[in-house]
Structure 1
Amino acid sequence: MAELRVAYADESFLAHDGTGVYVLAAALLPEASWEDARDVMRDLLRAQRPKAPPGAKLHWAKMPARARITATKTVADVGGLHVVAVGAPCPSKRQERARAACLKELVRELYDFGVRVLRMEAREKELNDRDRAVVNQARQMLGLDAEGFRVEHVPGPVEPLLWLCDIVAGAVRLHRLGESMYREALGDVVLDFDVVTDC
């Protein structure tokens, strides 16, 4: 039986009528490296926020520039592959539609890499249900052999592998908005592609 492959994903977006972009980044790491990667992310959290309360997590949006450089270099050192869907436009109040467009295409790409389980950061139940509906639509587009693909939602604070994705998504979003140093620090661990959101 083929190995069940799992990817982890998180998003970063700027909703704006002219320059909005939605980024959905998925991390593909060998399962044998998961615990080491989690430890690296926890160490990074402790280094950046020594007094972080229990249940805290790394969050790109709250990092100063120097911490972002360290974070992207750390992710590059962890390795693996980060498959990133970049959707535009992402108008104000249309980010869920942009997310759906990115998620559909991300499922297609991940399926081609052999992924069958996508773990995403949990949001509200209604929004989680939307993700599941989008994945079901994507499965139908892929055909009957894709019936095994599923999405699972996990709390962000308890899964450091999601922090990897948050860092990559944030770096790619800023790159698309003209700030490239963080994306460059990631090196060749990122494979990003454009998605037309029709928003």
Structure 2
Amino acid sequence: MLPTPQAFADESYFGTDQAGHYIFAAVFFARSKCELASEAMLGLRTRNHPGKLHWHDMTDRQRLHAARTLASIDGEHVVAVGAPVPQETQERGRAKCLERLVVELHGLGVAELCVESRSRRLNDRDVDVVRGAKYKLHKGARFTIAHSPGSKEPLLWAADILAGAMRARFAGSAAPWEALEHRTMECAVDVRR
């Protein structure tokens, strides 16, 4: 039996005065490509930022290079974008986007999702959302979520790049997103429901 594919997800938020967009991005690769993807993410670190790779710490040039690097690795990506999401309801936006990610990823053959850890209470909230989302899958479907520190898992950095590229698109800098859109399924999520 082949191992079940695992996806890695990270989030971002792009806000305006009226509302905003909650972005939950997931990447996944064939098991044979995971090591290559991890090495590529580790290779994007710089002398000034030798630890965890983070979109917000990169220059525009580094962001475009990171997006192109991720796009060059054979993988599939899903981005759930929830709107409208006012600043004060980001957790609701996260829950709605995570629920949609579970459904879409499961449809692509993924049964495990790794998300960057937050507090125990917030991690437990993610687990509850995934548990509820399983009711939207076929009877007996398996789907699990795990949390990992971002500093320990380079494939979470790939998800950060994808989320950052989508955020950059909303901010008017489309080039990083254009590098990735051919590998990415974009899902609009109405968070008012």
Question: What TM-score does the superposition give when structure 2 sets the normalisation length?
Answer: 0.94
The answer (yes or no) to whether the contact 2:19–2:87 under 8 Å persists in 1 is no
Kindly indicate whether the alpha-carbon contact (under 8 Å) linking 1:30 and 1:80 is maintained by their aligned counterparts in 2.
yes
Partner residue in 1 for 2:58: 63
SS in 1 for 2:125: helix
Structure 1: unaligned runs, 5 residues or longer: none
Task: Work out whether 1:171 is the aligned partner of 2:159.
Answer: no
The 3 A distance-change label for structure 1 pair 2 and 156 is same
Structure 1, residues 58-100: CA drift from partner, whole Å, max 9, x if none? 1111211111111111111123011110111110111110000
- Is the counterpart of residue 107 in structure 1 residue 75 in structure 2? no
Asked if 2 retains the 8 angstrom alpha-carbon contact of 1:17 and 1:89, the reply is no
2:71 alignment partner, one of 60, 67, 76: 76
- Equivalent residue for 1:94? 89
Cα distance in 2 between the residues matched to 1:68 and 1:107: 27
- Please give the alpha-carbon distance, in whole angstroms, between the structure 2 residues aligned to 1:16 and 1:132: 29
Which residue of 2 is the match for residue 116 of structure 1? 111
Indicate yes or no: 2:35 matched with 1:41.
Answer: no
> What's the RMSD between the two structures over aligned residues?
1.6
User: Deviation at 1:2?
Assistant: 5.5
Question: 2-side partners of 1:70 and 1:89: how far apart?
Answer: 30
The 5 Å alignment of 1:143-154 reads: 143-146=138-141, 148-154=142-148
Q: Name the amino acid aligned to 1:78.
A: I
Contiguous gaps of at least 5 residues in structure 2: none
Q: Name the TM-score, length of structure 1 as normaliser.
A: 0.91
Structure 2 residue aligned with 1:9: 9
Moved more, 111-120 or 136-145: 136-145
Structure 1 equivalent of residue 49 of structure 2: 52
User: In structure 1, the residue corresponding to 2:111 is in which secondary structure?
Assistant: strand
Query: Any runs of at least 4 consecutive aligned residues in structure 1 with deviations exceeding 6 A, and if so which?
Result: none
Matching residue of 2:121: 126
Alpha carbons 2:33, 2:74 under 8 Å: kept: no
CA deviations on 1:8-52 (whole Å, 9 max, x unpaired) are 11111124452411111111101111111111111111xxx2143
Identical counterparts, % of pairs: 42
How many pairs align? 193
